[in-house]
Amino acid sequence: MNNFFLVILDGVGIGETPDADEYGDKGSNTLAHIANAVGGLNLPNLAKLGLGNIDNIVGLIRNSKPLASYGKLKEISNGKDSTTGHWELAGLHVTLDFSYFPNGFPDSIINKFIKLTGCKGVLGNKAASGTEIIKELGDEHIKKGYPIVYTSADSVFQIAAHEDIIPLEELYEICRITREKVLDYPLNVGRVIARPFIGESGKYSRTTNRKDFSLPPPSETLLDILYKNDIDTIAIGKINDLFNYRGIKVQEKTKSNIEGCKKLLEYSSKAKNSFIFANLVDFDVYFGHRNDPVGFAIALKEFDDFLPEFLGRLDESDSLIITADHGNDPTTPSTDHSREYVPLLYFIKNQEGKDLYIRETFSDVGKTIADFFKVENSLKGKSFLMTLLN
């Protein structure tokens, strides 16, 4: 039905980039290290597509006749977070200098936050793991009612609160004020993230009611270009937040990989002449950031099991790219993202797969999709569409 599906496996990297050492990520390889940790990955459908042809991954054989074209993408933008990764995939080379606060936020920002949000104080104000900081400060939060503010190696201002202490809509409003009024120019913080949790002392757990408040992309992305050319743009999951809802005709909110996959099946049956852009976030949130290679492997197998039904619904006029936005190696001491290549699998039904080698920028994906829909554009990158059609 002349649809293009772009599916992002959030955090699924495939080996350190040449500049990984500059980011503290020398030696990272999300997929290979997960495979080593669990004694080999059992992903027969991804292997058929050609995932094992990209790198040596225990459990994945090299396929002499892969069903998809294969390669890997190198990020050219500075950073290793979801915002830069997705924006570059959508055709931008991100030169924006994001604001980072590895030692916590300065008093000027915190005081402004307290004044404008009406909060009486904050807890935390440091770089931390989200699950660990609610263990550490959850009890004090319950007692005082102050939100827990923290950051990470990414450009983020995260606000955690128990849903019984700061109700969701109140937490979201605090985040909106922070996005619009606290972190205003010249600050460029990529995302303000609401991190609600529930439970009691010693048993706190984050909920799926997370909400991101992102900076808008600094210039036109693939979504903007397709939208103004009357191509239906359908965003599934985290995509909506990362692009600040811009250039998106249909917004589909999801809270898990399962929900995201259900939406992909739905649109594979009903969409026509559409771009369907989906993010499957569980790999990153629940397993990469929590250093859980076993859980990561299980989530990859669940996605692999989903593929036959999904691929079976596509026809020869459809295209599918499966890739990622960054790495998140769960076997390293860090719980942060990792600067890695990401896998590239391009599937067209009944078309022989080819080697796409190493692409010099994530933006080759956006350029290729723009060419698929035959729209004029000035996106970065080099299209590989003709390579596949010749």
Instruction: For 110-137, write each residue's pLDDT tens digit.
Output: 999 999 999 999 999 999 999 999 999 9
Residues 19 and 126 in one domain: no
3 state SS of 75: coil
Residue entry with tokens 């990520």? 25
Beta bridge partners of 6: 277, 321
Would you say residue 291 lies in a domain? yes
Both tokens of residue 328? 């998140």
Do 235 and 372 have their domain in common?
Answer: yes
Residue 349 covered by a domain: yes
Measured between alpha carbons, how far is 135 from 217 in angstroms, rounded to an integer? 34
Domain endpoint, select from 170, 191, 214:
214
Q: Are the C-beta atoms of 81 and 96 separated by less than 8 Å? A: no
In a domain, 100, yes or no: no
The more confident residue out of 96 and 63 is 63
User: Is residue 293 included in any domain, yes or no?
Assistant: yes
Domain that holds residue 363: 4-95+218-389
Q: Using CB atoms within 10 A of its CB, is residue 102 exposed (0-12), middle (13-18) or buried (19+)?
A: exposed
Helix residue spans in 274-335 (DSSP H): 282, 293-313
| Residue 305 CA to its chain's centroid (Å) | 21
- Paired tokens of 373: 């829909």
Residue 373 lies in a domain: yes
Measure the CA–CA gap between 366 and 244, rounded to whole angstroms.
18
Domain CATH code at residue 156: 3.30.70.1250
Cβ pair 179, 213 in contact under 8 A: yes
Q: Are residues 53 and 134 in the same domain?
A: no
pLDDT greater than 80 at residue 298: yes
C-alpha 119 chain-centroid distance: 30
- Give me the half-sphere count of Cα atoms (radius 13 Å) on the Cβ side of residue 317: 10
pLDDT at 386: 87
Within-domain flag for 72: yes
* Strands 123-127 vs 148-151: parallel, antiparallel or unpaired: parallel
Can you say how many angstroms the Cα of residue 280 is from the centroid of all Cα atoms in its chain? 7
Q: Model confidence at 1, in pLDDT bands (50, 70, 90)?
A: confident
Q: What is the pLDDT of residues 15-63, one digit of tens each?
A: 999 999 999 999 999 999 999 999 999 999 999 999 999 999 999 999 9
Query: How far is Cα 127 from Cα 147, in angstroms, rounded to an integer?
Result: 15
Residues 141 and 285 in one domain: no
- pLDDT of 168 over the 90 cut: yes
Q: Any idea how long the chain is?
A: 390
Q: What is the arithmetic mean of pLDDT over 335-362?
A: 96
Q: What's 22's DSSP letter?
A: G
- Which H or E run includes 109? helix 107-117
> What are the Cα distances from residue 366, in Å, to 9, 143, 370, 377?
16, 49, 6, 10
- 262 and 378 within one domain: yes
What percent of the chain has a predicted confidence (pLDDT) above 70?
A: 100
- The answer as to whether 170 is a domain residue is yes
Residue 388 has pLDDT above 90, yes or no: no
What is the rounded average pLDDT of the residues 335-340? 94
Same domain, 335 and 354: yes
Number of domains in the chain: 2
Strand partners, 370: none
CATH of the domain at 262: 3.40.720.10
| 145 lies in the same domain as 202 | yes
Residue 389 scores a pLDDT above 80: no
Ramachandran sector of residue 24 (left: φ over 0; alpha: ψ -120 to 50; beta: rest): left
Q: What pLDDT does residue 325 have?
A: 98
pLDDT computed for residue 115 by the predictor = 97
pLDDT at residue 110, as a whole number: 98
pLDDT digits (tens, 9 = 90+) for 201-234: 999 999 999 999 999 999 999 999 999 999 999 9
Mean pLDDT, to the nearest integer, of 356-365?
98
Average pLDDT over residues 61-77: 97
Assess contact for 170 and 126: CB atoms under 8 A.
no
In a 13 Å sphere around the CA of 247, the CA atoms on its Cβ side amount to 23
| Share of residues in the chain with pLDDT > 90 (%) | 94
Round to whole Å and give the CA distance between 50 and 60. 9
- pLDDT, residue 99, reads 93
Same domain, 282 and 377: yes
Short-list 88, 166, 160, CA closest to 126 = 160
Are 65 and 149 members of one domain?
no
* Same domain for 230 and 207: no
Is the distance from CB of 43 to CB of 34 less than 8 angstroms?
no
Give CA–CA dist 340/85, Å, rounded. 11
Rounded distance, CA 80 to CA 365, Å? 17
Model pLDDT, residue 18: 97
Q: Which two tokens stand for residue 4?
A: 């293009």
Domain boundary among the residues 214, 247, 277 is at: 214
CB atoms within 10 A of CB 199: 15
Rg of the Cα trace of the chain? Answer: 21
Average pLDDT, the chain: 96
Q: Are residues 117 and 135 in the same domain?
A: yes
User: 190, 214, 238 — which closes off a domain?
Assistant: 214
Q: Are 244 and 374 within one domain?
A: yes
Q: In this predicted structure, what is the pLDDT of residue 97?
A: 82
Residue 102, domain member (yes or no): no
Query: Which pair of tokens denotes residue 105?
Result: 């936020």
User: What is the C-alpha separation between 267 and 360, in angstroms, rounded?
Assistant: 31
Residue 387: in which H helix or E strand, if any?
helix 385-389
